[in-house]
Amino acid sequence: MPSADYILEARNLTRKFGEIAAVQDLSIGFPRGQLHSILGPNGAGKTTLFNLLTRDYPVTSGEIYLKGERITRLQPHQIAQRGVGRSYQISSVYLGLTFLENVWLAAHGAERRGRTGFWRPISHYREAQRKSEQLLAELGLDRYTHTPAKAVSYGDQRLLEIAVTLATGPEVLLLDEPTAGLSSRETVRVKDFIESIKSRYTIVMIEHKMNVVMEISDFIHVMNFGRLIASGTPEEIARNADVHQAYFGMDE
C-alpha cells in the first residue's frame, strides 16, 4: 500500500544496467507542497531515479505510486498526464521561438495528448495563448513574452525551461540541476525563481550547489552508489558525517 503522506513515492526501487545497479533498493517519498532536494556525487544515480519516476526508463524491480495510484508500469505520457512534470539536465527549449511560443507549444502538446481529436475551433487556440501569457506573467517572465529564447541569457533560458514544464500543468515538478552551468549571479536568480513558485507545487530538485540546496529545501536526500545514505532537514544534513565523507570525500 502507498503511504498517504506522499504525493509521489518509490518503494524498493532498483534499476540495473548490466551488472551495475544505478539505483538500488531505494525507497523515498515526497509530501505534497514541499521542496525536496537530492544530492550526491556524479554517477550516484540521481538522474536515473528521475528517469524511473517518469518511466523514461523501466524499473528492474520496485514500485512507484502517484497520489495513491500505482504508476510503475504506465507510459511516460500517462505519468505526465497524471501530473508529473520534468525538466532535463540538458536544456530543451526551442531557441528560435519566443517565450510565448515555447510555453504555448508545451501547453498545447500536453492537451493534445489528453484528448482524441486534433482539430479545435480557433477560440481554443486563443484560450491556450491567453493561458500561456498568464503563466509567463505569474512567473515574472512577461517582459520576454515576445522575445526569442536565443536573445536572452542562459540563466533566463533555464527559467523558460521551467516555465515550459509548468505549462503542462504538473502538480509535481522534477528539476534536474536547474542551475547547472550558470554564473553565481544567474544561480541566485534561478534559486529565487524556484523559491517563488515553491508554494504552488511539490518540487523534487537534483542540485549540486550547496547554497541553493541549503537555502530553499524543506528536506534533503543524499544518494551514493545508487542508494540513499541520508535524509533530513538542511540542518541535519549539514551535520551528517556520512554525507561529508561521501559527498566531499573528507572526514570532518
Judged by the rule CB under 6 A, the positions of this chain that interact with ligand ATP are 17, 20, 22, 40, 42-48
- Whole-angstrom distance, CA of residue 222 vs CA of residue 200: 24
**Among 59, 74, 146, 67, which residue's Cα sits nearest to residue 113?**
74
Q: How far is the CB of 224 from ligand ATP (least distance, A)?
A: 9
Q: How far is CA 155 from the centre of its chain?
A: 17
- Pick the closer one to ligand ATP by CB: 94 or 225: 225
3-state helix, strand, coil in the chain (%, to 5): 40, 25, 35
From ligand ATP, Mg ion, none, interface partner of 43 (C-beta below 5 to 8 A by class):
ligand ATP
Asked if residue 47 binds Mg ion (CB under 5 A), the reply is yes
- Pick the closer one to ligand ATP by CB: 52 or 139: 52
**Angle, vertex CA 218, rays to CA 9 and CA 248, nearest 5:** 95
- Pick the closer one to Mg ion by CB: 10 or 128: 10
**Among 122, 146, 123, which residue's Cα sits nearest to residue 133?**
146
Could you tell me where the DSSP H helices lie in 23-121? 46-53, 76-81, 99-114
- Pick the closer one to ligand ATP by CB: 53 or 159: 53
From Mg ion, ligand ATP, none, interface partner of 155 (C-beta below 5 to 8 A by class):
none
- Pick the closer one to ligand ATP by CB: 92 or 134: 92
From Mg ion, ligand ATP, none, interface partner of 22 (C-beta below 5 to 8 A by class):
ligand ATP
Q: How far is the CB of 42 from ligand ATP (least distance, A)?
A: 3
Classify residue 75 by burial, with Cβ atoms within 10 Å: 0-12, 13-18, 19+: exposed
Residues that bind Mg ion (CB under 5 A): 46-47
